[in-house]
Amino acid sequence: MSVPTLTTRIAPPVRAGARAQRILERNTMVFRRMWMVIISGFFEPVFYLFSIGVGISQLVGDVVGPDGDPITYTAFIAPALLASSAMNGAVFESTMNIFFKLKYDKVYDTMLATPIVPWDIAIGEIAWSLIRGAIYTLGFMVVMAFMGLLSSPWAILVFPAAALIGFAFAAIGMAATTYMRSWQDFDLVTLVTLPLFLFSATFFPLDVYPPAIQTLTQISPLYHSVELIRALTLGIFDITLVGHVSFLVVMGAIGLRITGKRFAKLLMT
């Protein structure tokens, strides 16, 4: 007669981020009745494009493009505004909204009562910020196409490039949010994003800046974003694109790593 034995089944560990899609589902359900909040962020860069493209561009005339050939001023600034749109959508979603959920709404504390872990939250929220930036990008691309600013075949790569920009800025923005203590700290967000917007070769070619400012500009993440989008819209495909893409990938990876660790520390203690 055999003696029955008790066995314990040990569930295999769940890969970090495996349930991140649940975060996306929640955000989709929340914002489906607040779609104007998302759409409203699309208009600012479009207004810039129309005002500069229709007005100031007529006064400025042609400028020297990245490959040395003359291009219209509208064609020069439109890719920069698109990159800025992707940045703004990702940054504002990954800072203010995340801060409210983390400090006041206590949404994430409730989530931890489920099988969701902090890494799921970090990946899911960064993905949602990326989606918001992608929505702005898609709308802006439609406007650029209508104005005849997407004539190059390489322009098909603009959307995934803008998604990469959204990922990089969302990851860094959310990492910074985990260190914020009050709403006053968000003044620092504007303090960073506004100079990036103005001094990342957005409105002027890099060579018009003094040498010291050129060096600072070249370490700006928005500069790499602008140059990447500008090259694709103008059909300039060279080795420098690898550097721009690598910068954004590393930036996003660092931000994601910091966010995951900070979320684990803040939510599990």
CA distance readout (Å), 62 to 82, 84, 229: 20, 22, 19
With residue 262 as reference, give the H or E element that holds it: helix 240-267
Q: Which residues contact 65 (CB under 8 A, 6 or more apart)?
A: 71, 75, 76, 230, 234, 236
pLDDT of residue 17: 57
pLDDT of residue 14: 45
Do residues 83 and 165 lie in contact, with contact meaning Cβ atoms separated by under 8 Å?
yes
pLDDT of residue 246: 96
pLDDT of residue 114: 83
Q: Within a 10 A sphere around the Cβ of 213, how many other Cβ atoms?
A: 12
Burial 169-180 (b: 16+ CB within 10 A, else e): bbbbbbbbbbeb
Answer whether 0.95 is exceeded by the pTM. Answer: no
Going residue by residue through the chain, which has 269 residues, state the pLDDT in tens, using 9 for 90 and above: 455 544 443 334 445 556 788 888 887 787 776 666 666 666 777 777 777 766 777 777 777 767 667 788 888 888 998 998 888 888 888 888 888 888 888 888 888 888 888 888 888 888 888 887 788 888 888 888 888 888 778 888 999 999 999 999 999 999 999 998 888 888 888 889 988 988 898 888 888 888 888 888 899 999 999 999 999 988 888 888 999 999 999 999 999 999 988 888 888 76
Q: Residue 152: what are its φ and ψ, rounded to 5°?
A: -80, 140
pLDDT of residue 105: 82
pLDDT of residue 53: 67
pLDDT of residue 220: 92
pLDDT of residue 227: 93
First to last CA, the chain: 51
